[in-house]
Amino acid sequence: MNPLPSPRRLSSTDDRISPRKSHAGMALSSKATLSAALAKARTAVQLDQAQYHDGAKRYYVEAVGLIERVLGRASNEEDRKKLEEVLRAYTNRIRQLDALLGLA
């Protein structure tokens, strides 16, 4: 299993992704969306580690959808790059799980 970015690496209060920006970067409403995405990602990783692959995939997909929403509103280039990195990692894991589950 490839190491995925830990949901703890991208906390909604982390200064690497700045959800409190009001004039540049992500809007304030992105904070709640990012928090929800991180909660989904934590659950996905826990299920994945416990080898509950169906459930893990479902939570990765939900996390990706929420992160894509945040990414769509992010204007800070550094934030965008970090979010894109996380999206790539989770999307790759979804593909791996599809293959493992015989869905690919």
CATH of region 24-100: 1.20.58.80
Contacts of 101 (CB under 8 A, 6+ apart): 53, 54, 57
Its pTM stands at: 0.74
Mean pLDDT score of the chain: 82
- The CA distance from 18 to 51, in Å, is 33
Which residue carries 């996905």 as its tokens?
44
Domain residue limits, the chain = 24-100
Q: Rounded to whole angstroms, how far apart are CA atoms 58 and 84?
A: 19
* Residues 21-52: tens digit of each pLDDT: 443 445 558 889 999 999 999 999 999 999 99
Which residues are CB-neighbours of 18 under 8 A, at least 6 positions away?
25, 26, 76, 79
**pLDDT, tens digit, 9 for 90 and up, residues 80-97:** 999 999 999 999 999 999
Measured CA to CA, the distance from residue 19 to residue 34 in angstroms comes to 8
